Amino acid sequence: MGYSPGERYGSFALRSVTRIPEYESEGLYFVHDPTGCSVYQLRNDDDENLFAFVFKTPPTDNRGAAHIIEHSVLAGSRRYPIKDPFVALMRGSMNTFLNAMTYPDKTMYPASSTVKKDFFNLLEVYGDAVFFPLLRKETFHQEGRRYYFDGAGTLEVDGVVYNEMKGNYSSHDSIAGEWSYRSLFPDSVYRFDSGGQPEEIRDLTYEEFVKFHERWYHPSNCRVFLYGNIPPEETLTFLHERFLRRFGAPLPEHLAAARSKIESQPRWSKPTRVRLTSPAGDQTDSGGGGATITVNWLTASIFDPLLVLSLEVLTEILLAHSGSPLHKAVVDSDLGEDLSPISGLDTDTMELVFSVGLRGTVPSRADAFERLVESALLDLARDGIPPDVVTGALRRVEFRHREVKGGAPFGLRMLGRAVRGWLHDEPPERTLEFEPWMRKVSEHAKREGYFESLIRAFLLDNPHRSTVIVVPDPAHVEREEERYDRWRNRRVGELEADGKKRIDEETAAFQRFQSASDDPAVVATIPSLSLSDLPREVERVPLNRIDGEAPAFYTLEHYTNGVVYVD
């Protein structure tokens, strides 16, 4: 059937219809009038249908509430009050993807399946989880952080996210990667780690955890992405009946949360430098060459797809392989061992970060590394980039964007592109479309000095730059333990008269929660597939034989996004 803007589908209004030929799709944008929830379907003939609930969740501190909520909503909900409904769900599912991810400014819950009944089973459990989670205190203690006294009477902290982030901050490369972008955003929400820093996760309270969900997980702050061939009216009816009709009009605080704009980072007039330490591990100390130095620039907004794609091609030109000019300059410099894996263009934030890093070096070479990078960029801007290097980069970037890879649903890639701008109230198509912007980049590339002008504007003449130096330090772990001891002493000193007793009672309740078994009758309510739900016909691949003097040649017509494959 055809769709036209202005049509109504129950409580949903169809706001826009956009044909997107490169994906053989139609983009349909709906808004749920009672709550303000927005839904975007990339409708096509693909039977691997995907959905995702996406919430804007900018952090206001380093306590990791967004990350802990992501873990916790999947641990029991109003309709499915068991400890891990997703384990039961997966036993009766043919899903091709099922996960949840926390980003610096958003949290996403995607899942997909090629079986229609399975798609709605997944949607049922996911939707109930994100909108109506139980958020039990025991779940917070399990997934986030919990206090307990060990056998010696010492206060300790445990928890899935707490331990996960302790591991993250024990990795030299993770620390360097985290601060390579955070160092550029001292006045923005991106200065915080949405995953949480262990020393601050320890202070997150259960009440703050619950309030975070109340603030951000309202439909007015939800974007639902759909991909595939299921008619949108079926999914819209399902969303309204199962979830959205239970919400009234957005409360003022929810509306404020939904419309809260992530502000751009004010630009600097001069660069800055940040020095940090990491656990020494197997690396040498600060004098032995185990340090990483990164030079990082805050560049363009995610809202300009032409500029974003141009910077992606420029990154390909500079760093893609060992023969790329900036990559080669770093490796041949003898200032360190190798190019840092952190190097490249980071597009996970509202404003893009470009980084180039050196690992296996010493801190005293920071000045020399800055000069090396600047000199290599100056040479390219002055002497020009060879045309064949530009052509190769354009082809590689275009192929990478076009190729429909195996291993993950194609709809998942479309979700990532659409939500870039949609999260910030741009039309999903603006950051979803690739082909028209690739044509424009290719046209601009024919102009003499195009990429050289980008080097000048966003790198050489851009003072919003940070140099981050991360040094393996044998004393790092000892300092962390000292901070932990000071925190313990402070926390114990703050406990009320019955504080230790309450922690012991919570520990006992948590242990009972973990050891208790779910009611089999409740587990049985988790939707699952039966044999009758599965396709009965084997899918046959139609091959066309072309006869000739050579051996038989077969062709297969299939959507490959403009890429031709020959075996």
The residues annotated with a catalytic role in the active site are: 70, 143
| Residue ranges in 106-205 assigned as alpha helix (H) | 116-131, 137-139, 160-168, 172-182, 198-201
**The 3-state secondary structure of 194-230, one letter per residue:** CCCCHHHHCCCCHHHHHHHHHHHCCHHHEEEEEEECC
User: Residue 229: CB partners within 8 Å, gap ≥ 6?
Assistant: 43, 44, 45, 46, 47, 49
d(CA 223, CA 84): 25
Residue 115 burial (CB < 10 Å; 0-12/13-18/19+)? buried
Contacts of residues 92-99 at CB distance under 8 Å and 24 or more positions apart, as own/partner, are 92/121, 92/526, 92/527, 92/528, 92/529, 93/118, 93/121, 93/122, 93/528, 93/529, 94/118, 94/529, 94/534, 95/122, 96/48, 96/409, 97/50, 97/408, 97/409, 97/412, 98/122
Nearest to 209 by CA among 63, 95, 330, 343: 63
Q: 359, 340 in Cβ contact below 8 A? A: yes
d(CA 81, CA 93): 19
Sign of CA dihedral 356, 361, 364, 365: negative
d(CA 410, CA 452): 34
**Residue environment code for 337-371, b if the CB has 16+ CB neighbours within 10 A, otherwise e:** eebbebbbbbbebbbbbbbbbbbbbbeebbeebbe
The token duo for 34 is 């009672």
Nearest to 127 by CA among 29, 54, 206, 201: 54
d(CA 457, CA 346): 18
